[in-house]
Amino acid sequence: MLSKETCEACRADAPQVTDKELAAYMAQIPEWSGISEAGILKLRRSFKFSDYVSALSFTNKVAQLAEAVNHHPDILLEWGKVTVTWWSHKIKGLHKNDFIMAAKTDELQD
């Protein structure tokens, strides 16, 4: 289960996930989408909330999670919605860490 795993330090020469790994990991985080921006594969999911304060609270939880492992996503906070995008900047693509963090992010939503 991805959410129970821990991130490893990601080096600039770390390999990106293979197509086989990508398929296996995506099956474990079905609410997330694989997107490509400027040729970089990323994971993205939007979370819905009933108001801005709830969305802000979730944003802060994601920030605390990210800071704890020194792996930081893009976070877009809107009224009633937070969009989180994970990828590994050093390797300009997806690493297993991104899938672990996506699974951990899922667990933060009340």
64-73 per-position pLDDT tens digit:
999 999 999 9
Domains with residue ranges and CATH for the chain: 17-108 (3.30.1360.20)
**pLDDT for the residue numbered 8:** 78
At 102, list the tokens.
């996506």
pTM of the model: 0.94
Residue 110: per-residue pLDDT: 63
pLDDT (tens digit per residue) in 10-21 = 788 888 999 999
**Measuring CA to CA, how many Å separate 80 from each of 5, 6, 20, 57, 59?**
30, 30, 35, 11, 11
Give the residues of the chain that fall short of pLDDT 70.
Answer: 110
pLDDT of residue 11: 80
